[in-house]
Structure 1
Amino acid sequence: MLGFGLAVEPQLWALLFTMVRIGAAFIVAPLFGAVAMPVQVRVLLSGAIAVLVLKAQPFAIPTEVFSLTTFLSIAAEGLVGLAIGLVLQIAFAAPVIAAEIIGISMGIGFAAMVDPQNGAQSPALGTFLSVLLTLLFLSLDGHLLLIDLIVRSYELLPPGAAWLSPAKLENIAIFGGYAFLSGLLLALPVGFLLLCLNLVMGMLSRSAPALNLFAVGLPASLFVGVVALFVALPAMTDYMLVIVQEALDAANTLVLGGVR
């Protein structure tokens, strides 16, 4: 009998309580939180991982369902899960920022398509880079490392003591600037070449005012941008691997305190 005389099986209550942190992380985290991921799949994955957590990490679960302590514990569980997923999602925003910088310089900022991650309109180049980053995330077993991070969080932040300190929340907010920094560095090779091209076109416009820059500048920017993307893509891919690794390390450091 758990809370107000409600007959709830303790095993079922323990499973549901454990699923809160896992489900919250999957709602926000890349790949698992994508619009294309069915809700039923998330629930099944959360339940399967929760069963493993209950077997691997024994911890105390609130005995009463309807009590202030239980509600606070559930809120703390959701906060930890959302924090883990949010840190990863911040890093995964870098390709969209990089695509905005490159797309505007190339003159294709108007080209947009539906992003499979969030279901919203985003630059076509950003969607391409986001899909590439997701594939690299899978190639590095990032989804398995994320699950391992969630499971270890129950040992480092057990239920009942899972509230994140204000310092951790502040560090997570400050980490939001990493999306802009990594996006700028990701767009740097192509953006620098396009900046040089714009400087050349500006010099031409001063030396030959009769030159139609709209007829020459846009095709030139598009051509240089495509060639630069083709040449710089290996270097951009290497930096995307760094983004994935730093995102996982940041989730481990900012949320769990850096304990491995």
Structure 2
Amino acid sequence: MLNLDLITTFFLVFVRMVSFIFACPLYAIPGVPPLVKAGLGFVLAILVTPLVEPAATSFPGGLWGFGLAVVSEVGVGLALGLVCTFFFNVIRIAGQLLDFQIGFAMSAVMDPLSGSMNTLISRFLFFMTLLLYLNVDGHHTLIRALAKSYELVPLTAAGINGEITLLIIRIFTDTFALAVQICAPVVAVLVITDLSMGLIGKTAPQLNIFQLGFPLKIVVGVSTLAMLLPALTSVFKYLFDTLHRDLLLLLKGLA
């Protein structure tokens, strides 16, 4: 005989899992078929369901109540994926600011992974961040956090309040602040380079500063970024720790 409580619990767990997988940049890669992502969510739901407190088969309002419960689980998964998206976009924003200052912005091409126009350094930093995150088992950390979410936010128990709204706004604004901090050293060097080229142009008008400026800024910008790459590992570690902390704060706020 079918256990309706177990089937209902599994379905709600599966909905939250799949929503997170389709929203998190680490798993939501457009090149991966949707069936593979759904299959990953299905396998994770099978593993996690025995650890989750069973959901009741009777919902207030009948079918409408069950529909609201599904929407609630979708919202929790999407909220967790949205926070992950914010932090991975920090690197994209920092790279685009660098490309704009260096002069690579005109080389922007359509990136099928993000579905938007991305520049050279932006894509390079983003892929490097993904590799570092995989190297420190960040994908396992996200799966553990998702499994932990069923303890902090039981099925059908999620709620939205003013604190959650303020938290998401704070995370959104922090992404821009972190992006500016990451690219600030290189941008400062490029600004000094621009000022130096302007002074040279005033003292030696016969030089074509506009023509010399493009290759010089590329050399200076790329060289400065190469020298700063070892130091960026500590920045990435701070970024990952902040991501995990904010995921925990979000789950506590949704409870």
The TM-score, its normalising length taken from structure 1, stands at 0.89
Partner residue of 1:249?
Answer: 245
Alignment pair present for 1:22 and 2:1: no
Distance 1:169 1:72 in 2: 20
1:231 maps to 227
Which of 149, 152, 175 in structure 1 is aligned with 2:145? 149
1:70-110 alpha-carbon deviations (Å, 9 max, x no partner): 11111111111111111111011111111122111111111
* Match of residue 69 from structure 2: 73
Q: Is 2:95–2:119's contact at 8 Å kept on the other side of the alignment?
A: yes
Matched-pair contact (CA < 8 Å) for 2:6–2:54 = no
Moved more, 59-68 or 228-237: 59-68
Counterpart Cα distance in 2 of 1:29 and 1:224: 35
Residue 138 (structure 1) aligned with residue 158 (structure 2): no
Choose the corresponding residue for 1:214, options 210, 216, 222. Answer: 210
Q: Could you list the runs of 4 or more consecutive aligned residues of structure 1 that deviate by over 3 angstroms after TM superposition?
A: 7-14, 61-66, 113-117
> Residue 175 of structure 1: SS of its match in structure 2?
helix
Q: Say yes or no: does 1:115 pair with 2:111.
A: yes
Quick one: which amino acid aligns to residue 45 of structure 2? A
Q: Distance in 1 between matches of 2:242 and 2:218?
A: 32
Per-residue deviation, 1:223:
0.9
Q: How many residues align?
A: 254
Is residue 13 of structure 2 the alignment partner of residue 32 of structure 1?
no
Tell me the residue number matched to 1:179: 175
Asked if the contact 1:96–1:130 (Cα under 8 Å) also holds between the matched residues in 2, the reply is yes
Of the three residues 35, 46, 49, the one matched with 1:51 is 46
* CA distance in 2: counterparts of 1:210 and 1:176, whole angstroms: 48
Percent of pairs identical after alignment? 28
C-alpha distance in 2 between matches for 1:32 and 1:185: 27
Give the drift of 1:13: 3.8
The one-character-per-residue Cα deviations of 1:235-257 (angstroms, maximum 9, x if unpaired) are 12321222122112111112334
Shift of 1:116: 5.2
Indicate the SS of the match to 1:104. helix
State the 1:210 CA deviation: 3.3
CA distance in 1, matches of 2:89, 2:254: 23
RMSD: 2.4
Partner amino acid, structure 1, of 2:102: M
- C-alpha separation in 2, matches of 1:251 and 1:91: 11
Match of 1:199 in 2: 195
| Structure 2 unaligned spans of 5+ | none
TM-superposed CA distance for 1:14, in Å, is 3.2
**Aligned counterparts of 2:45 and 2:152: Cα–Cα separation in 1:** 16
Query: Which position in structure 2 is the counterpart of 1:101?
Result: 97
Q: Distance in 2 between matches of 1:67 and 1:258?
A: 24
Taking a change above 3 Å as real, the CA distance of residues 256 and 38 of structure 1, as seen in their structure-2 partners, is: farther
Q: Which whole-Å CA distance do the structure 1 matches of 2:215 and 2:118 have between them?
A: 23
1:106·1:222 contact (CA, 8 Å) conserved in 2? yes
Pick from 185, 188, 194: which aligns with 2:184?
A: 188
Q: Check conservation: 1:31, 1:117, Cα contact below 8 A.
A: no
Question: Partners of 1:201 and 1:8 in 2: how far apart?
Answer: 75
Q: Which structure is higher in helix share? A: 2
Partner of 1:60: 55
Q: Which runs of 5+ in 1 are unaligned?
A: 2-6
The aligned amino acid for 1:90 is: F
